[in-house]
């Protein structure tokens, strides 16, 4: 038995009908999926369309500390982390560092906020539970996105990028009322 096809010019044979059909269906589906991306950008209700800007970790920490100094309403009893309640519709700043999200936030339901998220040291993952919001947070980059809480309650920010020995304890809080 030869490993070569019987006809030398096998690549020049007419394509079988069913194969043409499957390739067409696959191509069509790929195109539908491709155009779903821009479609969901506009039509998705909780769809993230974030921007990213370069910023040094020190500069971002300073911005966040200024933000917290202005709007802190109390301290979280368990961790001592400030809870910050910014005016509705304003910019909010939060950073991850080993092993906490700083500060905690208190937001109003159905009001939009411009989130600025970055890291003060290593790579962290910003995973907002139980929503399907998931961002990779990298030092030197400021992620900016608009978030509108549509339900009230207590939301956890879980770090989902392994960042060291206390990674599993790195849980932030957002309170929505």
How far apart, in whole angstroms, are the C-alpha atoms of residue 54 and residue 111? Answer: 27
Q: State which of residues 34, 39, 53, 162 lies at the interface with ligand CUA (CB under 6 A).
A: 162
Give the contacts of 158 (CB within 8 A, at least 6 positions apart).
Answer: 125, 127, 129, 170, 171
Q: State which of residues 83, 159, 172, 173 lies at the interface with ligand CUA (CB under 6 A).
A: 159
Q: Is 86 in the site for ligand CUA (CB under 6 A)?
A: no
Binding mask 37-76 for ligand CUA (x = CB under 6 A): ----------------------------------------
C-beta separation of 125 from 137 below 8 A: yes
Number of residues forming the site for ligand CUA (CB under 6 A): 8
Residues counted in the chain: 177
Give the Cα-Cα-Cα angle 105, 134, 87 (nearest 5 degrees).
Answer: 25
Residue nearer to ligand CUA on the CB measure, 86 or 157? 157
Part of the chain binding ligand CUA (CB under 6 A), chosen from 2-10, 22-30, 54-62, 156-164: 156-164
- Please give the radius of gyration of the chain, using alpha carbons only, rounded to the nearest integer: 24
Binding mask 117-136 for ligand CUA (x = CB under 6 A): -------x------------
Q: Is 139 in the site for ligand CUA (CB under 6 A)?
A: no
How far apart, in whole angstroms, are the C-alpha atoms of residue 22 and residue 100? Answer: 50
Q: Which residue(s) pair with 135 in the sheet?
A: 126
What's the min distance (Å) between Cβ of 158 and ligand CUA? 9
How far apart, in whole angstroms, are the C-alpha atoms of residue 25 and residue 173? Answer: 46
Q: Report which secondary-structure segment, H or E, holds 28.
A: helix 17-43
Part of the chain binding ligand CUA (CB under 6 A), chosen from 12-20, 55-63, 64-72, 154-162: 154-162
Give the binding site for ligand CUA (CB under 6 A). Answer: 96, 124, 159, 161-163, 167, 170
């Amino acid at each position: 038995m030869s490993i070569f096809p019987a006809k030398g010019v096998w690549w020049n044979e007419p394509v079988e009908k069913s194969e043409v059909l499957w390739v067409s269906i696959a191509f069509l589906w790929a195109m539908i999926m491709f155009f779903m991306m821009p479609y969901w950008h506009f039509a998705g209700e909780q769809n993230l369309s974030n921007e990213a800007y370069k910023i040094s970790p020190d500069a971002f920490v300073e911005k966040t500390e200024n933000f917290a100094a202005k709007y802190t309403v109390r301290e979280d009893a368990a961790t001592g982390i400030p809870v910050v309640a910014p005016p509705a519709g304003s910019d909010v700043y939060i950073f991850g560092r080993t092993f906490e999200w700083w500060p905690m936030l208190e937001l109003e339901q159905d009001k939009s906020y411009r989130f600025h998220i970055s890291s003060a040291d290593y790579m962290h993952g910003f995973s907002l539970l139980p929503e399907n919001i998931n961002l990779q947070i990298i030092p030197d980059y400021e992620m900016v996105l608009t978030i509108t809480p549509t339900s009230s309650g207590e939301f956890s920010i879980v770090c989902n990028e392994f960042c060291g020995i206390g990674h599993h304890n790195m849980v932030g809080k957002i309170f929505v009322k």
